[in-house]
Amino acid sequence: MIAAEWTKIRSVRSSLWTLPLTVVLSGALGYLLALSVRSGGGQAFEKDPLMIAFLPLTLGQLPLVVFGVLAMTSEYSTGTIRASLAAIPDRARFYASKVAATTLVAAVVGVVAVPVTFLAAQAGLGRSLAMDGVAQALVGACLYLPLMTAFALGVATMLRSSPLAMGILLPVLFLGSQGLGNIPKVREVTQFLPDQTAWVMLHLAGPQDEARWARDYGAWSGMGLLVLWVVAALLGGYAVLRQRDA
């Protein structure tokens, strides 16, 4: 059944652009960002240069989030859901294969995008970024991308509509987290938003030894929070899928 979901994924155009776009976008941004830092453009990155290699993923994740959303909402917008549930009437099994295939594909894309972005950043910077915490950050990033994809899939299953799901997810990932998150009082709350929870591990939350950047959780516990978000979203999606008529 995972094979069937894989056939669905590879046989539509949206996958053919969202998946490579993740790699291209974050890789290109990593290189450009590193170039500008090299020519003296980013004092902010001096304290923690690893940020250069991982910040681009916050943009690169967006096509993956779209991919995660479309994996479910396209079932409804095209009517494929009727064929899917006629073929697999056990909705838990249908949902599990959908989640597994989508997350697995996102994981493979992540395993490509993360090192590509890292190497692009090094190339642009002209020096190695091998330093303390780099291995942990690389592993974290490879977990982060599929987890965000699964989160998007869960939210989309609850909402069953692409505009609605994108309308909620994209502002959260852009405004809530990155824009408003720069205001200290707001950050006390936004630090718990799903994408933010992984930022300590990805060296995007600012130097954690400085009080003004320090989060209320560490690298791995932050990743644990993200897992909780994903589990909650997927369970919410299942509750909706199980109850509603197709």
Partner 1 sequence: MVAVEGLSFTVRPGVVTGFLGPNGAGKSTTMRMMLGLDRPTSGDVRIDGERYRDMRHPLRRVGALLEAKSVHGGRSGFNHLLWLAQTNGIARSRVRTVLEQVGIADVAGRRAKALSLGMGQRLGIAAALLGDPPVLLFDEPVNGLDPEGVVWARELFRGLAAEGRTVFVSSHLMTEMAMTADHLVVVARGRLLADTTVSEFVAESGTDSLEAAFLRLTAGGAR
User: What does the binding site for partner 1 look like in residue numbers (CB under 8 A)?
Assistant: 1, 3-5, 7-8, 11-14, 74, 78-90, 245-246
Give 1 or 227: the residue with its C-beta nearer to partner 1: 1
> In terms of CB distance, is 43 or 243 closer to partner 1?
243
Q: How far is the CB of 243 from partner 1 (least distance, A)?
A: 9
State how far the alpha carbon of 41 is from the alpha carbons of 17, 21, 53, 128, in Å: 31, 26, 15, 18
CB 165, min distance to partner 1, A: 18
Nearer of residues 186 and 246 to partner 1, judged by Cβ: 246
CB closer to partner 1, 66 vs 81: 81
Q: In whole angstroms, give the CA distance from residue 153 to residue 229.
A: 12
Min dist CB 156 to partner 1, Å, is 16
Query: In a 3-state reduction of DSSP, which class is residue 201?
Result: coil
Q: How far is CA 18 from the centre of its chain?
A: 13
Q: How far apart are CA 193 and CA 181, in angstroms?
A: 10
Between 13 and 185, name the residue whose CB sits nearer to partner 1. 13
Q: Minimum Å distance from CB 25 to partner 1?
A: 22
* Closest approach of partner 1 to the CB of residue 217, in Å: 41
Tell me, what amino acid is at 52? Answer: I
Q: Report the alpha-carbon distance of residue 216 to residue 177 in Å, rounded.
A: 16
**Closest-CA residue to 195 (of 209, 180, 174, 179):** 174
